[in-house]
Amino acid sequence: MASTASPTATSASVTTAAADAAAVADAADAVSVDAAEPAAVAPVAATAARPGPGASTAFADAVLEWYATHARDLPWRHPEASPWAVLVSEIMLQQTPVNRVLPAWQAWLDRWPAPSALAAEPAGEAVRMWGRLGYPRRALRLHQAAVAITEEHHGLVPDDLEHLLRLPGVGTYTARAVAAFAFRQRHAVIDVNVRRLVGRAVNGRDDQRTAVSRRDLELVESLLPHDAESAAQASAAFMELGALLCVARTPRCEACPLRRECAWRRAGSPAAADTGRRTQSYAGTDRQVRGKLLAVLRESPVPVPQDVLDTVWDEPVQRGRALHGLLDDGLVVAVAPGVYALPGEQAWPGVRSPSGG
């Protein structure tokens, strides 16, 4: 870990040099980091301007000192956590709160402590084990990643960014997070919390964008300590500070180690620009219907006929649309006419179709 100078001492001039670097860094095409569908990484330009070593060290040291006494004790951060355990945590944590992930992550690792263990089972078992974490395609991607790791990497999670990015379901954020947290490498790791923290503290604006550009990667990388271990720790610390203090609606600025030099505070804490995005209610949506259909299939030890699925939602058009969506996504398969199961399951003898076949 980097040295732990006082936040009041280290915060001086933290943001000024970093902001200067951000102002002259070349803009680049945005790279999607939507949590449900990660995208490929954009290369970091080698010629990006960076803040001086003092500014970078001051920013990271202030956050690292805070992190040393305020970090949550999460099992995937423990030294004994395997790269596979870290990868599972990163996939599960996409758009899902930590308190919901903790029991699911532990149960998953208890059953499948290595990629080869998961790869040996049908994909439907991953969907079943996923339970109600939401966005269940992540379960399929984890199963596909486990198969790829087993078949192409001798059962070991690859330790370089290029090969991580080739795994199914692994995009910019996840690949960099695994490289940093599992293999202690120096990479910029940007989730919504890091984007918000750096956007406020360095750039003086409340950044609500959902895409990451090469300029973003260059700026965050410039704030990391130079040695890999400290950089990996700083990546976790930036994320934690954004998650616990520099939150979206009611930031706890008085407790923040960057409060004295935060560009956003100095600018009067301006409100975020309206991105036009609106949070969709869950009740009554196709997502809710999909969840109800999947719940029936997860809880059944045998494939399920159509007439049973018809009982979970009264509106037939929406129910049919949701079922077809699950079939298209590979989360459900038809094992006989009008009989459905999770992927990898077969029709059991005696399971009737609605037509009586």
Sheet holding 304-305, edge to edge: 304-305, 339-341, 333-336
pLDDT score at 50: 47
Residue 94's closest CA among 39, 34, 47?
A: 34
The tokens of 8 are what?
């009041």
Mean predicted confidence (pLDDT) in 257-277: 86
Question: What would the pLDDT profile of 31-53 be if each residue is shown by its tens digit?
Answer: 333 344 333 333 333 333 345 44
Question: pTM of the full predicted structure?
Answer: 0.82
The tokens of 45 are what?
């330009």
Q: Is the pLDDT assigned to residue 16 strictly greater than 60?
A: no
Vertex 214 angle, CA 209 and 218, to 5°: 105
Q: Which residues are 304's β-sheet partners?
A: 340
The tokens of 269 are what?
């804490």
Q: Do 58 and 201 meet the contact criterion of CB atoms below 8 Å apart?
A: no
Question: What would the pLDDT profile of 184-206 be if each residue is shown by its tens digit?
Answer: 999 999 999 999 999 999 999 98
Residue located via tokens 């439907």: 124
Query: Alpha carbon of 73 to those of 4, 132, 311: distances in Å?
Result: 20, 24, 43
More confident residue, 356 or 109: 109
- C-alpha span between 173 and 198 (Å, rounded): 16
Q: Do 21 and 222 meet the contact criterion of CB atoms below 8 Å apart?
A: yes
pLDDT confidence bin for 22, thresholds 50/70/90: very low
pLDDT score at 49: 39
Q: Is the pLDDT assigned to residue 329 strictly greater than 80?
A: yes
Vertex 330 angle, CA 328 and 336, to 5°: 85
Which of 65, 90, 218, 261 is the catalytic position?
A: 90
Vertex 317 angle, CA 313 and 323, to 5°: 70
Q: Do 48 and 220 meet the contact criterion of CB atoms below 8 Å apart?
A: no
pLDDT confidence bin for 271, thresholds 50/70/90: confident
In the residue annotation, 162 being an active-site residue is answered as: no
Residue spans of alpha helices (H) in 182-274: 192-201, 214-222, 228-244, 263-266
Question: What would the pLDDT profile of 285-303 be if each residue is shown by its tens digit?
Answer: 999 999 999 999 999 999 9
pLDDT score at 159: 97
β-bridge pairing 339-341 and 333-336: antiparallel
Q: What are phi and psi of 247, to 5 degrees?
A: -80, 170
Vertex 230 angle, CA 224 and 232, to 5°: 75
Helices (H) and strands (E) in the chain, counts: 17, 5
The one-letter amino acid code at 354 reads: P
Q: Is the pLDDT assigned to residue 264 strictly greater than 60?
A: yes
Q: How many other C-beta atoms are found inside a 10 Å radius of the C-beta of residue 186?
A: 18
Per-position DSSP letters for 55-110, written without gaps between them: HHHHHHHHHHHHHHHH----GGGSTT--HHHHHHHHHHTTTS-HHHHHHHHHHHHH
Q: Is the pLDDT assigned to residue 331 strictly greater than 60?
A: yes
- C-alpha span between 213 and 29 (Å, rounded): 6
Q: How many other C-beta atoms are found inside a 10 Å radius of the C-beta of residue 287?
A: 16
Question: What would the pLDDT profile of 50-87 be if each residue is shown by its tens digit?
Answer: 454 455 689 999 999 999 999 999 999 999 999 999 99
